[in-house]
Amino acid sequence: PSCMRDVPLCVFLWVPTPQSIFLKYTNNSHVFVFGPVVEFAPSTMTSKPNPRSSFSDLDVARVGVEAFSTAALKSDDDLLREIFSDVFRHHHPDVASKVDVIFSLAQAWSISESASDFELLEERLEALAPDERVLVASAFAHLLNLHNLTEEIVTAQFEKAQRIGEVEQSTRSTNKSIQWMIREQGIEPSQVFEALSTQNVELVFTAHPTQATRQSLLKKYSTIRSEMDKLHNTRMSKYEKIECLEEIRSQIEAAWRTDEIRRRKPTPEDESRQGLTYFHETIYNGLPFFLRRIDTALSNIGQPRLPLDATPFTFGSWMGGDRDGNPFVTPETTRNVVIGARLSAVELLIKNVEKLMFELSVWRASPELKSFAKEISDKQAKENLAATTTESFIEPEKKSVHEVTFSCVSEPFRVVLSEIRDRLKVTREVLNFSTKHPTISLKEALKEEPLAYENPEELISILKLCYRSLNETGDGSMANSKLLDVIRQATTFGLHLARLDIRQESTKHEDAMDAITTYLGLGSFKAWDEATRMAFLLKELESNRPLLPTNMPMSGEVADVINTFRMLSQLPSDSLGAYIISMAHTASDVLVVVLLQKECGVESLLRVAPLFETLDDLEYAETAMRQLFSSAWYLKLIDGKQECMIGYSDSGKDAGRLAAAWGLYEVQEKLVSAANEFGVHLTLFHGRGGTVGRGGAPAHLAVLSQPPKTITGTLRVTVQGEVMEQQFGEKEICFRTMDLYTGAVLEATLAPVDAPSDQWRNCMHEMSKISCQSYRDVVRGDPRFIEFFQTLTPVSELGRMNIGSRPAKRRAAGSIDTLRAIPWIFAWTQIRFHLPVWLGIGEALKSLMDKGQGAVLSDMYQNWTFFRVTMDMLEMVFAKADPKIVKVYERHLVPKELHRMCDDLLERFKLTEECMLEVMKHPSLLSSQSTAFLQSKLQLRAPYVAPLNILQVYSLKLIREVESGKAIEDIVGEYNTDEDAMALMSRGPHANPLLAALEDTMVVTMKGVAAGMQNTG
């Protein structure tokens, strides 16, 4: 091919397969790969891989974007794997050669897919000693994490190349969206400005236990990523490059010597702290950088920059507020995480205000600012700000000898900003004092300290005064630089950083209200019908008489609900977001929460958002909301704004992915229609997980596939578990995440897609019914299913990973209904079957195709974003699945009488794949040009994942044999008892090192497979 002309050195490697030819060539600085990747074990490599320099026009032009991305990925993967191999060989020389052989065998099987190659791989793994299994599992898990790091690095490189125009963007940026809407859709530039000025996307970080990698390791990987970025993008001397590679090696070694297993469950406070790290590392400073890009895009169409109070993004959190099924989230926990978030916000503001204070050394200012600066200076002359004579219940913070306080009015900006900084430090002291004294009201403590900031409004108004002054004196460039950034940070993050949502299940509120009505002799609230409940609740809400007796005796669960509301009354309102009612069914579920807030003294009521989750609840959601909107009292309360949350996880577990997706599509249309009738602006809160089974999809596709006119300027969406790292773990990717959401919401608002035709709707309605019935026939209707699920998958063992604070089940009962959606998806993902995603879809597609609707389905795929995204996500899941691995789990773990069920499900799997590919007109999985890079990534991961699956099967088999009463020594036989081996096998909680090693191997394989799938639950 022409791209290979004038290449100094070419090496052709070909391996014939039924599908393709493998081709690889190298020149003096790059490795390029076409087709499926051919890899060799480190011991067979003839030379070290050369680190890339960066994307360049010449390289991209030579091989094309996808091929270049694959080549860059391959190059980085080779580099990090070789460094890891050197580290591993240094510490474990006897096992290193076994890892090389296992990797080579896994590669051979990944390419050939032959039974004989797989048997060789199994034999090698089965022959490992107990301590060797721990080491080999850890090695492959670390290699997968490093490989994922290379994917992030290449993605970040590619994002930057797209941003600076070196390569074409595969999806529209906000700027491209603006240009497209003006040019193609006839949207006026002023409409774009107005929409962006009021648009708000709120990203809500949740504590869903789906991040399998420890924070300690994530930090080391972050350092490696930073050093790799330097290696690719910085001009270095020979010595600097050596030093950079040495630092990478140091971090890889540190990661290897870090225990990858959490030895205790994280607390909700731990989860909150981990979530806050993304604000410190990328989000807080990344947001103003992104907003400057929006300003530039607006300037390009002749519009002014965004208003100062515009908040295109805000952030929320469930960490420490989500008590649904989590007994470890207490009222005290909620208080602690609110204080922690405010401390982070204050620290970040102090740092940026102090930088600004030293930067704004100018003397010229408006009369208003000069007067204000003089007031401050005069006050400082009378009393020391840090040791004021005003009564205070906190000890004043001692000033550092290096701290500068400006008081000279000839530098008015410094005087003003110096006071802001000092008052922020007083605020920090109040927060620290409140932490040490858990019984005091945080809200009252902030009120009683006159120098503390109770809310950000006063602080922001002073920053705006500085902004106006600079503009009035002709210093607009300074105003629109760092000062504008700090104003936007203060406006977006305030003193709260991320507003905390509170979530609780509807039955808990129902129990609390029932306890109150029963105690007062009014009857049983739970026994009343919906009309009686609504009448009672509205009457009490309109009444000034208190309902809740002060000393009413309560059960533990009722007391927890009441005490939570009482705690909310003691917290600053700007730290609180929405109150989410999970498993909401009726209108009264909402009014109960409003009434409990009122009775417990919450002055600024939290907005209440019902979360509709099961298919039945989705179907009833419109009726419930219409009933609420029909109340004049309720309409006055919400002041024209309502939020509803829709759950992707439990709806999928309840009805299957296709039926749930269509149910969610229809309920959005109905809810928005009902809200519009009553003059209410409805914000939909999408409770998406990271996996396809829980509604996961790329951000822009997730937005653009929603029904037209259901997103009108506002959107809330959850960011769960590992998705936080994927979307905000690196600054370029953080920028791209914000860019994708902004552009997609803008398009959905100003240029919504056309509504689907009646024919398409009828097809979806019929497929939804068929798929739901087929799914439920298996999951609920087949009496063999629960035993099959529990024996085939590691669902019963997932809790040993300690990746989240909450239990795997809402209640102790053993049904699928009580199992949470995350372990439900996680278990199927581990064995690479992904059953919740595809079960029922094959029957639905085949039914319509048999009726001659195949062409209609293909038309839907080509021209309807919703259906295309559904099918594309399904195809990706099939590409990650592996029926051969599923059979290994079946052979070793499932009773023979249940093997027939596995065969039946594999037939359904095959049918679904065939029908899906026929509808999509794809000859094979990921065969389109747009998915070529994804295919390359999966092929590179495959040799790492297969050994982990096999080791997991062996570990599960042995653990279950031990749990059935067999002695571990009888199962394992002789084993290595030298000092190093015993130390390795004694890290777990078991006194018996063999049991500890066995459990460690299982947990490490779970983490490794999760890394290979890049999803947990």
**Are the C-beta atoms of residues 526 and 603 closer than 8 Å to each other?**
no
- pTM given for the model: 0.86
Q: Give the bridge partners for 581, in sequence order.
A: 504, 610
The strand pair at 641-647 and 576-582 is best described as unpaired
Residue reference for tokens 């909402």: 590
558-573 confidence digits (pLDDT tens): 999 999 999 999 999 9
pLDDT, residue 386, reads: 47
If you write DSSP's letter for every residue of 954-1015 in order, what string do you get?
HHHHHHHHHHTT--HHHHH-S---SHHHHHHTTSSS-SSHHHHHHHHHHHHHHHHHHHHHT-
**Are the C-beta atoms of residues 871 and 936 closer than 8 Å to each other?**
no
**Are the C-beta atoms of residues 17 and 77 closer than 8 Å to each other?**
no
Query: Can you tell me the mean pLDDT for 873-881?
Result: 94
pLDDT, residue 805, reads: 60
Q: For residue 887, what are the CA distances in angstroms to 600, 779, 883, 906, 924?
A: 56, 19, 6, 9, 22
Pairwise pLDDT comparison (731 vs 464), residue with the higher score: 464
> How remote is the C-alpha of 280 from its chain's centroid?
17
Percent of the chain with pLDDT over 90: 66
34-48 confidence digits (pLDDT tens): 333 333 333 333 334
> How remote is the C-alpha of 603 from its chain's centroid?
32
If you write DSSP's letter for every residue of 510-527 in order, what string do you get?
HHHHHHHHHHTTS--GGG
Q: Per mean pLDDT, which of 53-62, 227-236, 651-660 is the most reliable?
A: 651-660
Q: For residue 978, what are the CA distances in angstroms to 98, 131, 703, 975, 983?
A: 19, 10, 57, 9, 9
Verify whether residue 509 is a known catalytic residue. no
Q: Locate all alpha helices (DSSP H) within 678-730, ordered by sequence.
A: 699-704, 722-728
Cα–Cα distance measured from residue 596 to residue 508, given in angstroms and rounded to the nearest whole number: 12
If you write DSSP's letter for every residue of 28-93 in order, what string do you get?
SS-EEEESSPP---GGG-SSPPPPP----HHHHHHH-HHHHHHHHHHHHHHHHHHHHHHHHHHH-H
Please provide the distance, in angstroms rounded to a whole number, between the alpha carbons at the two ends of the chain: 43
pLDDT, residue 604, reads: 95
pLDDT, residue 12, reads: 43
pLDDT, residue 406, reads: 64
Phi-psi category of residue 639: left, alpha or beta, with phi > 0 → left and psi -120 to 50 → alpha: left
Name the pLDDT band for 1015 (thresholds 50, 70, 90).
Answer: low
H-helix or E-strand spanning residue 576: strand 576-582
Going by C-alpha positions, the residue among 915, 937, 933, 917 that lies closest to residue 925 is 917
Which residues are CB-contacts of 1000 (< 8 A; sequence separation ≥ 6)?
A: 134, 261, 985, 987, 988
351-404 confidence digits (pLDDT tens): 999 999 999 999 999 999 999 999 998 887 776 544 444 455 566 565 654 566
Length of the chain: 1017
Q: Give the bridge partners for 687, in sequence order.
A: 647
784-818 confidence digits (pLDDT tens): 999 999 999 999 888 776 655 655 455 544 567 76
Cα–Cα distance measured from residue 647 to residue 664, given in angstroms and rounded to the nearest whole number: 8
pLDDT, residue 791, reads: 95
Choose, from 220, 443, 653, 937, the residue flagged as catalytic.
653
Identify residue 76 by its one-letter amino acid code.
D
Pairwise pLDDT comparison (779 vs 650), residue with the higher score: 779
Identify residue 393 by its one-letter amino acid code.
F
Cα–Cα distance measured from residue 947 to residue 1005, given in angstroms and rounded to the nearest whole number: 9
Q: How many CB atoms lie within 10 A of CB 977?
A: 10
Query: Can you tell me the mean pLDDT for 282-291?
Result: 96
Cα–Cα distance measured from residue 82 to residue 100, given in angstroms and rounded to the nearest whole number: 11
Q: CA 722, 827, 699, 489 torsion: positive or negative?
A: negative
pLDDT, residue 811, reads: 52
The strand pair at 313-317 and 499-505 is best described as parallel
Query: Can you tell me the mean pLDDT for 423-444?
Result: 96
920-958 confidence digits (pLDDT tens): 999 999 988 778 888 888 998 999 999 999 999 999 999
Query: How many helices and strands (H and E) does the chain possess?
Result: 42, 10
H-helix or E-strand spanning residue 501: strand 499-505
Q: For residue 468, what are the CA distances in angstroms to 261, 377, 414, 926?
A: 53, 20, 15, 55
Choose, from 208, 880, 937, 1007, the residue flagged as catalytic.
208
pLDDT, residue 469, reads: 97
Q: How many CB atoms lie within 10 A of CB 194?
A: 14
pLDDT, residue 850, reads: 97
pLDDT, the chain, mean: 87
Verify whether residue 208 is a known catalytic residue. yes
pLDDT, residue 55, reads: 44
Residue reference for tokens 């989590």: 326
